[in-house]
Chain A
Amino acid sequence: MLRFLARRLGAAVVILLVLSFVVFFLQQVSPGDPARAYVGANASTATVDAEREQLGLDDPFFVQYGRFLAGAVTGDLGRSLRTRHAVTDDLQTYLPATAELVLAAFGLALVLAALFALSATRRWPGAAPLRGVLLVLASAPPFLLALVGIIVFFGRLGWLPAGGRGDYVDPGPTGMLVLDTLLHGQTDAFLDAVWHLVLPATVLAIAPAVAIGRIFRASLDGALETDYVRTARSKGLTERRVLAHHVVRNSVGPTLAMAGLQLGFMFAGVVVVEQVFSWPGIGNYLAASIPVADFPAIAGVTLVLGAVYVLTNTLVDLLQAVCDPRVVAE
């Protein structure tokens, strides 16, 4: 297990190094001028030139890259050219909102995926239309789904808010509003936070739910045909017990792998959803940083997303090992 973890850690370091190098290379070849973004549109050329030198943007590529790496090792990702805050501070501000949204969406995706798969396998009456709706919604691009959601549930019905995280200030400590308000027993604030989470989380959850659900369904169907299930049934076990103790557990491996993959994709794909719903997470932060070539911010978010992706896949591998000891043996 230790060897497995060490290998994963080494791979993570390599991936993050490559990512940071790519981001810096893009900065170098990009025609954008971060110094201009720093001082503002109407600033004179002399002011921009002075600021460029001050920011070290005139230094050779490897000097800048080395400076970034040295800072990153000590947790200093530089200063955002747009917000002028330390990037690590910005990430601490925005990452919890993204984590809250993605985790809520992931939880919802797992529930929907389970419903999708079990309803098909068990042939629940009336479930086919629900699966049909999910499939249709999953085929729509997230931004379109988000816009339709806002128009319908905010614009027409007035049931759900159009965006934002709510009217309450996060009392801490996690930065996840739903969790923090719950911990502090603030019922109104908690409901308000959940209310704001419903629409963006649902939009983000639908496509992954169908992807996970399809794999889960295929695994369940496969398991139901196996000899050990026939044996269990012949021993007189109830169908529910067969399903819970034999079928689901043996089907969960591939499902976990797909779920981990989808969780990584959700972190990467959250940018669009955060944009449309004015969700103050790192996706929105990234989207605002790109047009003004705020490379410290872009690099910081890229590294975080890369780290989350690697971490998620490592966790999935560990979970698979827990569910199926043969994974480690292999």
Chain B
Amino acid sequence: MSHRTRRSSTRLVVAGALLPLLALSACSSGTRTDASAPGSSASGDSTLTVGLLGDIGQPPDPDIYYANNGTAIMTNVYEGLVQYKNDTDTVQIAPRLATSWEVSKDNTVYTFHLRDGVTFHDGTPFTSAAVKVAFDRRIAVKGGAAYMVEGVKSVATPDASTAVVTLASPNAAFLSYLASPFGPKMESPTGLTKHAGGDDAQTYLASHDLGTGPYTLSSAETGVRYVLKQYPGYWGTTSPFTTVDLPVYTDESALELGFDNGKVDAIVAALPSSSLDKYAKASYAANYFLPTLQGAMVTVNSSHAFFADADARVAFLQSIDQSQLVSQVLGKRSSVATTMYAKGMIPGGGDKQAISHDPAALTDYLKAHPAGGTKLVVGYANGNVNAQQMANIVVANLVADGLKATAQGYDTSTVFGWINDPTKGPDAFIDGNNGPDGGDPYMWGHVFWDASGGINYFGCQSADVNKTLDDAVKTGDVDAYLAAGEAYGKTGCFLNLSYNRDWVLAQKWLTGVAEAQNIGANELDFSKLGVAK
């Protein structure tokens, strides 16, 4: 629990004036001077402080927000019709504002039966009319996740508690779209009209909310903090936390120190794996490793000369020791990936990844195809410590094989610009943590393997794979997804490195953490958290 710290003016003046000397004296002290042991018990107030590492990056508007850091804010303020089931590592759709649903055999008509007694934060009752309004606004705003409702042909409302969504073409992934943390959320129709302005209420929703979730957005100070207040009219269970304070830390050390001092109660999927050991040994900390669809992965640039040959790409990927990367870098939050899709996406795990570690593969390839003096660059995203460390290890192994390899960091915007001209990118890129929007295999295959999907950085694709995926999404045919995965694996452009879990670091007194999380990642349902007695 957080409390505001007040200091006397005398102490202020003394500390300010003697700062340099105090620094020296403190450096010589090895003991903690903070009187209270952090996290030993919950204080009496009802504020939960969840530290953010960096700002959430985009306005907290459910039709715009399409990043990771603020997902918890969005999913606690807004609700969709369905969600992923909490506290499980398999992909299961669970009710949220819809209590049940039926899907037509051809995957074109989805009928939702809506929950009674739900109100928006502005007091407007939630009815089926809100579904169409929310879908329409998503299209109008044209955010990154607008694709999820672009296939909606019509929304019929036979009564106030039934919404019938008809799609223009079959889509077996539609429920996964709706369950995604980035999926369409319900927004008060009256509120949207009232605050429409000239931009479909975008200005209003940058600092206010019109959702139905357990919390309202009380304040949004970009780069400073976000504050959520418990919504008294919430239909579901509520937690003891009437306020959730999400201060923005821009420095990792400061965030960790805030947790150590008890000023931060929880950190959700923000710290690098290099901090795992420290908190594994900390008596005041509870570590949770919760399932997600995220993973580390390697993407190979086939537009560069050395990797133009598929055999070279495969040999390179075989040279990567996944076990080494997981054990040395990612640690307990990850396990070695053995499938082409995310863990649990294909029931039974039949999507085995064909490429496995073979230390001799690249050496043998280089003997047959001498590449003396070939320079390779392995890229990673700036600021991603895990990816940087993995890139360094991969580079060291390449150098041992006689190649002139280097690791290089890139800004996010640069990474996403390569698709326009892959020759400007590095030879390979390592993602420390990436994932699809939802749990349907199409959402993985399309995004990572189809050049038009969004995260196929170097545009390495196969027309056959794309067609197989496009056909599979119409029926949800698992065999088709297996075929697509097997075919794409042969391109040598992609290696699924690890299955990553969300590392949630919490004070020991915080309860209900695992029950508050689902595979959507980077989120906790704050209404399900509690305080140990």
Residues of B within 8 A of A147 (CB): 251, 253
Note all chain A residues with C-beta closer than 8 A to B419.
45
Interface presence of B424 (CB below 8 A): yes
Q: Is B206 an interface residue (CB 8 A)?
A: yes
Within 8 A of B (CB), among A38-74: 39-48, 50-51, 54
Are A41 and B454 neighbours in the complex by a CB distance under 8 Å? yes
Say whether A159 contacts B66, CB under 8 Å. Answer: no
Mark contacts of A18-54 with chain B using CB atoms, 8 A cut-off: 1 yes-contact digit, 0 otherwise: 0000000000001111101101111111111011001
Kindly list chain A residues whose C-beta atoms are within 8 Å of the C-beta of B19: 153, 198-199, 202
B6's partner among A90, A163, A191, A292 (CB-CB below 8 A) is A191
Knowing A85-B206, A291-B382, the reply to whether A163 touches B452 (Cβ < 8 A) is: no
Residue from A150, A158, A194 in contact with B254 in the complex, judged by beta carbons closer than 8 Å: A150
The answer to whether B222 touches A151 (Cβ under 8 A) is no
Determine which of A36, A83, A137, A156 lies in contact with B416 in the assembled complex, contact meaning CB atoms within 8 Å. A36
- Quick one: which of B66, B383, B452 contacts A40, CB cutoff 8 A? B66
Q: CB-defined interface of B247-274 with A at 8 Å, one 1/0 digit per residue? A: 1111101100110110100000000000
Kindly list chain A residues whose C-beta atoms are within 8 Å of the C-beta of B55.
Answer: 288
Q: Does B37 contact A (CB under 8 A)?
A: no
Residues of A within 8 A of B451 (CB): 45
**Looking at the complex, which one of B21, B144, B202, B421 makes contact with A43 (CB distance below 8 Å)?**
B144
Report the bound CA distance from A36 to B206 in whole Å.
20
Residues of chain B lying within 8 A (CB to CB) of residue A191: 6-9, 12
Q: Does the CB pair B54–A195 fall under 8 Å?
A: no
B residues near A148, Cβ cutoff 8 Å: 23, 27
**Cβ–Cβ < 8 Å partners of A51 in chain B:** 142
Closest 9 CB pairs of A and B: A40-B66, A40-B144, A43-B144, A32-B413, A293-B413, A33-B417, A36-B416, A39-B144, A162-B254
Verify if B140 is at the interface (C-beta below 8 Å from A).
no
Interface residues of A in 150-184 (CB under 8 A from B): 150-165, 167
Task: Give the contacting residue for A34; candidates B57, B254, B413; CB below 8 A.
Answer: B413
| Residue count of chain B within 8 Å CB distance of chain A | 78
| Minimum CB–CB distance for A188 against chain B, Å | 6
Q: Are B206 and A84 in contact (CB under 8 A)?
A: yes
In the complex, residue of chain A having the shortest beta-carbon distance to the beta carbon of B15: A159
Contact of A83 among B8, B33, B222 (CB under 8 A): B222
Contact B26 A152 (CB under 8 A): yes
Q: Is B418 an interface residue (CB 8 A)?
A: yes
Question: Is A156 in contact with B418, judged by CB distance below 8 angstroms?
Answer: no
Q: Which residues on the A side are within 8 Å of B251 (C-beta)?
A: 147, 150, 163, 275-278
Residues of B within 8 A of A48 (CB): 416, 454
Alpha-carbon gap, A274 to B55, bound state (A)? 13
Tell me if A290 counts as interface (CB < 8 A to partner B): yes
Q: Is B160 an interface residue (CB 8 A)?
A: no
A285 on the B face (CB < 8 A): yes
Docked-complex contact B411 and A44, CB < 8 angstroms? no
Interface pair A162/B257, CB less than 8 Å apart? yes
CA distance A82 to B55 in the complex (A): 11
Given the interface pairs A284-B250, A291-B382, the reply to whether A94 lies near B223 with Cβ below 8 Å is yes
A41-B454, A149-B23, A188-B6 known; A36+B145 contact, CB < 8 A: no
Residues of B within 8 A of A280 (CB): 221-224, 248
Closest to A275 in B: B250
The residue from B12, B248, B261 contacting A155, defined by CB atoms under 8 A apart = B261
Residues of A within 8 A of B418 (CB): 31
A-B contact pairs, 17 of them (CB 8 A): A31-B421, A42-B145, A42-B455, A44-B452, A84-B64, A84-B206, A150-B251, A154-B261, A156-B29, A159-B7, A159-B15, A188-B6, A191-B12, A275-B250, A277-B251, A278-B251, A291-B383
Give the residues in chain B near A83, CB-CB below 8 Å. 58-59, 206, 222
Distance A191 CA – B6 CA, assembled complex (angstroms): 8
B420 proximal to A (CB < 8 A): yes
**Which chain B residues numbered 7 to 63 have a C-beta less than 8 Å away from chain A?**
7-9, 11-12, 15-16, 19-24, 26-27, 29, 32-34, 54-55, 57-59
Q: In whole angstroms, how far apart are the Cα atoms of A160 and B182 in the complex?
A: 38
The answer to the question of A133 belonging to the interface, with a C-beta cut-off of 8 Å to chain B, is yes
A134: nearest residue on chain B (CB-CB)? B20
| A 266-284 contacts with B by CB, 8 A | 274-278, 280, 284
Q: At the interface, yes or no: A76 with Cβ under 8 Å from chain B?
A: no
Using known A-B contacts A33-B416, A33-B417, A47-B142, determine if residue A41 contacts B67 with beta carbons closer than 8 Å.
Answer: yes
A158 near B261 (CB under 8 angstroms)? yes
The reply to whether the CB of B5 lies closer than 8 angstroms to some CB of chain A is: yes
Is B66 within 8 A of A30, CB to CB?
A: no
Closest to A158 in B: B34
Is A9 an interface residue, CB under 8 A from the partner?
A: no
B66 x A42 contact (CB < 8 A):
yes
Q: Is the CB of A45 within 8 A of B454?
A: yes
* Any A CB within 8 A of the CB of B209: no
Decide if A327 is an interface residue (CB 8 Å cutoff): no
Q: Is B117 an interface residue (CB 8 A)?
A: no
- Which of B194-216 touch A at CB < 8 Å? 202, 206
Are A32 and B411 touching (Cβ within 8 A)?
A: yes
Is A287 in the interface zone, CB < 8 Å from B?
yes
Question: Inside 8 A of B420's CB, which chain A residues have their CB?
Answer: 33
Q: Which residues of B contact A36 (CB under 8 A)?
A: 413, 416-417
**Does chain A have a CB within 8 A of B412?**
yes
Asked if B414 is at the interface of the complex by the 8 Å CB criterion, the answer is yes
Chain B residue numbers with a CB within 8 Å of A46 are 452
Query: Which of A155, A192, A194 meets B260, CB within 8 Å?
Result: A155
Q: Which one, A50, A137, A154, contacts B142 given CB within 8 A?
A: A50
Contact between chains at B26 and A276 (CB < 8 Å): no
How far does the alpha carbon of A44 sit from the alpha carbon of B147 in the complex, in Å? 8
B68 to chain A, nearest CB (A): 8
Asked whether A82 and B57 contact (CB < 8 A) given A277-B254, A288-B223, the answer is yes
Does B437 have its Cβ within 8 Å of any Cβ on chain A? Answer: yes
In the complex, chain A residues whose CB is within 8 Å of the CB of B147: 43-44, 47
Q: Is B246 an interface residue (CB 8 A)?
A: no
A42 and B16 form a contact (CB under 8 A): no
* Distance A125 CA – B224 CA, assembled complex (angstroms): 45
- Chain A residues near B257 (CB, 8 Å)? 150-151, 154-155, 162
Docked Cα-Cα span, A280 to B224, in Å, equals: 6
Other A-B pairs beyond A31-B424, A153-B23, 13, CB < 8 Å: A30-B414, A32-B417, A40-B143, A41-B454, A47-B142, A148-B23, A152-B22, A159-B7, A163-B251, A192-B4, A192-B6, A278-B248, A293-B414
B65 — which chain A residues lie within 8 A by C-beta?
Answer: 40
Q: How far is the CA of A287 from the CA of B424 in the complex (A)?
A: 24
Minimum Cβ distance to chain A for residue B380 (Å): 13
Scoring B20, B142, B182, B416 by chain A CB atoms within 10 A of each residue's CB, the highest score goes to: B416
- Whether B436 is near chain A, meaning CB under 8 Å from some CB there, is yes
Expressed in whole angstroms, the Cα–Cα distance for A275 and B248 within the complex equals 11
B254 to A41, Cβ gap below 8 A? no
Q: Are B33 and A156 in contact (CB under 8 A)?
A: yes
With contacts A31-B417, A278-B248 taken as known, whether A47 is within 8 angstroms of B412 at the C-beta atoms is no
A162 touches B59 (CB 8 A): no
In the complex, whether B344 has a CB less than 8 A from a CB of chain A is no
> What's the Cα separation between A160 and B258 when bound, in Å?
12
- In the assembled complex, the CB of A58 is this many whole angstroms from the nearest CB of chain B, namely 11
Do A291 and B452 contact each other (CB < 8 Å), given the known contacts A50-B142, A202-B16, A275-B250? no
Rounded to whole angstroms, the CA-CA distance of A41 and B452 in the bound complex is 13
**Is the beta-carbon distance between B145 and A163 smaller than 8 angstroms?**
no
Q: How far is A34 from B411 in the complex, measured between Cα atoms in Å?
A: 11
